[in-house]
Chain A
Amino acid sequence: MIVAALSMCLALQASTAMEHVRAGVEAHKSGQLDSAIAEFQKATELDPKLALAFVDLGAMYVEKRDFAAAIAPLKRALELNPEIEGVHQLLGYALLGQGYAAEAIPHFEQAHDDDTLGIALLETGDYSRAVPLLQKSLGKNPGDPDLLYYYGRASGLLSKQVFDDLEARFPNSPRSHQMMAQNYAALRDVPNAEKEYREALRLRPQTSGLHLELGELYARAQQWDKAEEEYRAETQIQPGSAEAAYRLGEAMVQEGKFHEARLALSNSDRLKPDMPETLYMFGKAASLDGDDALAAKCWKHVLDLEKDTPLVAQTHFSLAGLYRKQGKTREASHEMELFRALSEAAQTQEPPR
């Protein structure tokens, strides 16, 4: 008799708890988050074993961004039913939102949520695991700015971690000096960057890319004669590098060595054809070297490859100068018109009076 009465009572409570759950769902649907929370709370009190009510309560707190309050009901839900759907993800959010990234990780793993797992791994400093996960997520959602941010941050920190490791374990290695040089170069500290590059080159003279980087350092400091020397060394180490040949040609144009520049740029064009920047500079070197026909050919090729870019405007301007020099007034005016049209927007930008 007593058992029957107790069973009836429990069934009544359960049924009442479910009514509160249903009321909570309705309240949520109508946007009344606090009422929904109250209903789910009541349901958990009436039936402390109703996992569903704990899940809903935790979900409401997560939605309300009250992560601290969400954690306990979600954990309780998992205790009551470890297989219940969606709880791991919600608990992961709540824990991560409260700063417990390490605790959140297994829940995201359970939920197979790569985005947030990557972020949690980033927060715990496990960059090498975070980067591929975030990259994978970004592949699925390429336009997500948050993902882009986290991917960039994770990649940067991983890079720093690796470089720190390199410096700690191999402080006198050529790569360590190269890395230091890059840091100094980023700070525009030419003397120290130069010193580190030189040391890297002393330790391993044939390292590809080192002369190129040192050349770029000198070029940024407008020391074109030194830049030329480094680019030339790079072309000897990497005779197949179109970039090294291009840089060498660019430096020699600055120095007024137009004929030699032309040869280097021709080589760069041969190694990697149809590069607009190379063709523009090749045309410039040819023009300065007195070969107007070749200059015109290179610049027209740029115009075949590119449309409506600053380089195109530049090319029209250069062609106008060439035609003017040749007495081709009509052609020069036409190129100037095209130049004006492209550069008009930039040149008419005026602050308000």
Chain B
Amino acid sequence: MTDFTRRDFIARLALWGVAPAVFDAKLPRGLDFLHRNSPTAQKYLIESMGGGVALLDYNNDGLLDILLVNSGRLIDRVAAPEEFDRHDPQYWNRLYRQNPDGSFTDVTEAAGLASAGDGNYGMGVAVGDYDNDGYPDIYITNYGKNTLYHNNGNGTFTDITAKAGVAGGGWSCSAGFFDYDNDGHLDLFVTRYMEWDTKHSKICGGEWKTYCPPGEFPATTNILYRNRGDGTFEDVSQPSGISTLRGRSLGVAFADYDDDGFTDVYVTNDGMRQFLFHNNGNGTFRECALEVGASLTADGKPLSGMGVVFQDYDNDGRPDVLITVLPREIYALFHNDGDGLFSYRSLESGLGLLSAASSGWGVGLEDFDNDGWKDMFVAQSHVLDNVEQIDHMLHYKQPPLLALNHHGKFERAAESGADSPLAGRGAAFGDLNNDGLMDVVVTSLGGKPVVFMNQAGARSDRWLSIALRGTTSNRDGLGARVRVNGQTRFATTSGSYISANDKRLHFGLGAAETAKIEIRWPSGVHQTLDAVRANQFLELREPEKS
């Protein structure tokens, strides 16, 4: 009897025809976070945009921990200097260490993360081992100055923003670590939303008093920091060509879309065309989304681009772009056709039916049922908290969307288990309990996060989880292209919306008992492993360059 686990019970249910839902939505013991965005009558736009979340193993104990970004205190009419009360513990960002029993312990203070900095209203988080010391570092984006925390490797972090020179400024949203020059050191891309401050805030919607659309405020530039490899970064936004364009950027994701060995950058913009920065391989980028067909809908219309994933959804080996948007648009899927070109495939892939009435934020393409096809999960909620008064057809709180991928066509999961509406914003993906199934943590604006534990095990097939250990390349192998039995993933912790994912690469294997793994490391080294046994966690070390 003692050997009869919960997993066995679920498997037995499936055999009896009582198949459980894919997810069990829960708030694990000890995860007592409450996001505080402090909505005001002034309808400050920053109130509606925060809620970043990261899944990372900060202490390398093999269990994923959760970092949740808080926002701050806003009063009805903010006066200069903007303060946001981040010294008050209820407005702190929080780091929760996972315990072996699946519960969590708040280690924020012990880890040295209690101070969020004066004048910062929190947004998102990026995770990467910028100094290749084997411990993930944390970059917090804010309205205000951003913060880089170095992981000291002993359970504590040190704010090294000033030394590193990555404070940025303005209104930062999503950020991500990647190695654009393949020098083995992770660089940092920071999106910024718009030129806005509380002094120049506006209220829109007439008598309805709503948050203003992005076009009411000037666009701004994004930032690219090059890692010098000595613990400091250089702002190369201008020489790299990144800051030549102004946008209203919210999401960022990385992949090598044209297979030239250099990581490219996709940036979502709200209410305008999207950006694809092609990496020229010489330290510069060229924005080319419009000319390659990855900027506007098939009808030439702009998108309210928010979250983004840059992964291969149809197993043709090329990374595609999936973007979440507002209702009455459709989540945009730009299929990578090869030869550096994309085509808008939202309708062909079934997104017309799935997303036309929804508003999406955090998004992931992960194989939740391990059938070998990446499924879609979207944290959803309208941006306007009073939208139901204005338009009865729309809803502020919405349940997350789980759509299963059937050979490149998405269909809503009949029993997702993600049925309760929430004000979804950030979403981070990873295998929290190391059971070979991808889980999700979703933040709720002004509310508690929800952990969606994947319990599809009984029905699911085999899997493989790969952690990369770069030697010449950056330590976590971010930017590597990994192929397993015909599926492709690009190693990244970025994507989604203001969130950071488990760095491990998860592959569903279907019924296959073994796998062939092919890796192209950022250094250019190719590595192949044959007949790798399914259902295991692997750490693969980058071989020496021959």
What residues make up the interface of A, taking CB atoms closer than 8 Å to B? 187-190, 220-225, 253-256, 258, 284, 288, 313-314, 316-318, 321, 324-325, 336, 339, 343, 347, 349-353
- Give the residue name and chain of the A residue nearest to B301 (CB): A314
Of the candidates A190, A222, A223, A350, the one having the most CB atoms from chain B within 10 angstroms of its own CB is A222
Q: Are the CB atoms of A222 and B328 closer together than 8 Å?
A: yes
Q: Are the CB atoms of A187 and B299 closer together than 8 Å?
A: no
Nearest chain A CB to B332 CB, angstrom units: 14
B393 is contacted by which of A220, A254, A321 (Cβ under 8 Å)?
A: A220
Interface residues of B in 285-301 (CB under 8 A from A): 290-291, 293, 296, 298-301
- Give the residue name and chain of the B residue nearest to A188 (CB): B392
Nearest chain A CB to B305 CB, angstrom units: 15
Q: Are the CB atoms of B343 and A321 closer together than 8 Å?
A: yes
- Asked if A321 meets B392 with Cβ closer than 8 Å, knowing A222-B357, A254-B352, A336-B290, the reply is no
- Asked if A350 meets B218 with Cβ closer than 8 Å, knowing A256-B352, A343-B300, the reply is yes
Residues of chain A contacted by B337 (CB below 8 angstroms)? 325
Residues of chain B contacted by A321 (CB below 8 angstroms)? 293, 298, 343-344
Check if B327 is an interface residue, CB within 8 A of chain A: yes
- Asked if A351 meets B216 with Cβ closer than 8 Å, knowing A221-B393, A222-B357, A255-B352, the reply is yes
Check if B347 is an interface residue, CB within 8 A of chain A: yes
B273 is contacted by which of A225, A347, A349, A352 (Cβ under 8 Å)?
A: A347
Check if B356 is an interface residue, CB within 8 A of chain A: yes
**CA–CA, A171 and B490, complex, Å:** 64
**For chain B, what secondary structure do more than half of its interface residues adopt (helix, strand, loop), or is it mixed?**
loop
Check if B341 is an interface residue, CB within 8 A of chain A: yes
Q: Are the CB atoms of A288 and B353 closer together than 8 Å?
A: no
Q: Can you list the 3 inter-chain pairs with the closest CB atoms, starting with the nearest?
A: A317-B300, A222-B356, A222-B357
**CA–CA, A91 and B168, complex, Å:** 74
Q: Are the CB atoms of A256 and B218 closer together than 8 Å?
A: no
- Asked if A221 meets B357 with Cβ closer than 8 Å, knowing A188-B391, A317-B296, A324-B293, the reply is yes
User: Can you report 12 residue pairs joining A to B where beta carbons are below 8 Å apart?
Assistant: A188-B393, A254-B347, A254-B352, A256-B347, A288-B348, A314-B299, A314-B301, A316-B300, A318-B298, A321-B298, A324-B293, A351-B217
A256 is contacted by which of B350, B357, B391 (Cβ under 8 Å)?
A: B350
Please give 15 more A-B residue pairs, beta carbons under 8 A apart, in addition to A188-B391, A225-B353, A347-B272: A188-B392, A222-B393, A253-B352, A254-B352, A255-B353, A256-B350, A288-B347, A314-B300, A317-B296, A317-B298, A318-B299, A325-B337, A350-B219, A353-B195, A353-B218
Q: Are the CB atoms of B347 and A317 closer together than 8 Å?
A: no
B392 is contacted by which of A189, A224, A352 (Cβ under 8 Å)?
A: A189
Check if B215 is an interface residue, CB within 8 A of chain A: yes
Residues of chain B contacted by A336 (CB below 8 angstroms)? 290-291
**For chain A, what secondary structure do more than half of its interface residues adopt (helix, strand, loop), or is it mixed?**
helix
Q: Are the CB atoms of A325 and B343 closer together than 8 Å?
A: yes
What residues make up the interface of B, taking CB atoms closer than 8 Å to A? 195, 215-219, 272-273, 290-291, 293, 296, 298-302, 327-328, 337, 341, 343-344, 347-348, 350, 352-353, 356-357, 391-393, 409
Residues of chain A contacted by B352 (CB below 8 angstroms)? 224, 253-256
**CA–CA, A272 and B21, complex, Å:** 49
**CA–CA, A133 and B216, complex, Å:** 44
Residues of chain B contacted by A188 (CB below 8 angstroms)? 391-393
- Give the residue name and chain of the B residue nearest to A280 (CB): B299
Nearest chain A CB to B313 CB, angstrom units: 15
- Give the residue name and chain of the A residue nearest to B337 (CB): A325
Q: Are the CB atoms of B392 and A187 closer together than 8 Å?
A: yes
Q: Are the CB atoms of A254 and B219 closer together than 8 Å?
A: no
Q: Are the CB atoms of A256 and B343 closer together than 8 Å?
A: no
**CA–CA, A138 and B185, complex, Å:** 74
Residues of chain B contacted by A350 (CB below 8 angstroms)? 218-219
- Asked if A254 meets B356 with Cβ closer than 8 Å, knowing A336-B291, A350-B219, A351-B216, the reply is yes
Q: Are the CB atoms of B327 and A222 closer together than 8 Å?
A: yes
A224 is contacted by which of B344, B356, B393 (Cβ under 8 Å)?
A: B356
**CA–CA, A152 and B215, complex, Å:** 33
- Give the residue name and chain of the B residue nearest to A217 (CB): B393
Q: Are the CB atoms of B217 and A253 closer together than 8 Å?
A: no
Nearest chain A CB to B355 CB, angstrom units: 9
Q: Are the CB atoms of B298 and A284 closer together than 8 Å?
A: yes
Nearest chain B CB to A1 CB, angstrom units: 82
- Give the residue name and chain of the A residue nearest to B349 (CB): A256
**CA–CA, A13 and B343, complex, Å:** 95
Residues of chain B contacted by A325 (CB below 8 angstroms)? 337, 341, 343
**CA–CA, A224 and B330, complex, Å:** 13
**CA–CA, A336 and B216, complex, Å:** 27
Q: Are the CB atoms of A190 and B393 closer together than 8 Å?
A: yes
Nearest chain B CB to A210 CB, angstrom units: 20
**CA–CA, A221 and B348, complex, Å:** 21
Residues of chain A contacted by B356 (CB below 8 angstroms)? 222, 224, 254
Q: Are the CB atoms of A253 and B353 closer together than 8 Å?
A: no
Residues of chain B contacted by A314 (CB below 8 angstroms)? 299-301
**CA–CA, A259 and B127, complex, Å:** 46
- Asked if A324 meets B353 with Cβ closer than 8 Å, knowing A190-B393, A351-B218, the reply is no
**CA–CA, A136 and B298, complex, Å:** 46
Residues of chain A contacted by B302 (CB below 8 angstroms)? 347
Nearest chain A CB to B135 CB, angstrom units: 41
Residues of chain B contacted by A317 (CB below 8 angstroms)? 296, 298-300
- Give the residue name and chain of the B residue nearest to A339 (CB): B300
**CA–CA, A245 and B392, complex, Å:** 28
Nearest chain A CB to B353 CB, angstrom units: 6
- Give the residue name and chain of the A residue nearest to B352 (CB): A254
Q: Are the CB atoms of A253 and B291 closer together than 8 Å?
A: no
Residues of chain A contacted by B357 (CB below 8 angstroms)? 221-223
**CA–CA, A284 and B298, complex, Å:** 9
Nearest chain B CB to A263 CB, angstrom units: 17
Nearest chain A CB to B356 CB, angstrom units: 4
Residues of chain B contacted by A256 (CB below 8 angstroms)? 347-348, 350, 352-353, 409
**CA–CA, A284 and B290, complex, Å:** 19
Residues of chain A contacted by B353 (CB below 8 angstroms)? 224-225, 254-256
**CA–CA, A343 and B302, complex, Å:** 11
**CA–CA, A281 and B106, complex, Å:** 55
**CA–CA, A288 and B341, complex, Å:** 17
Nearest chain B CB to A42 CB, angstrom units: 55
- Give the residue name and chain of the A residue nearest to B347 (CB): A256
Nearest chain B CB to A138 CB, angstrom units: 30
Residues of chain B contacted by A352 (CB below 8 angstroms)? 218
Nearest chain A CB to B232 CB, angstrom units: 31
Residues of chain B contacted by A223 (CB below 8 angstroms)? 357
**CA–CA, A353 and B219, complex, Å:** 9
Residues of chain A contacted by B273 (CB below 8 angstroms)? 347
Residues of chain B contacted by A318 (CB below 8 angstroms)? 298-300
Nearest chain B CB to A141 CB, angstrom units: 33
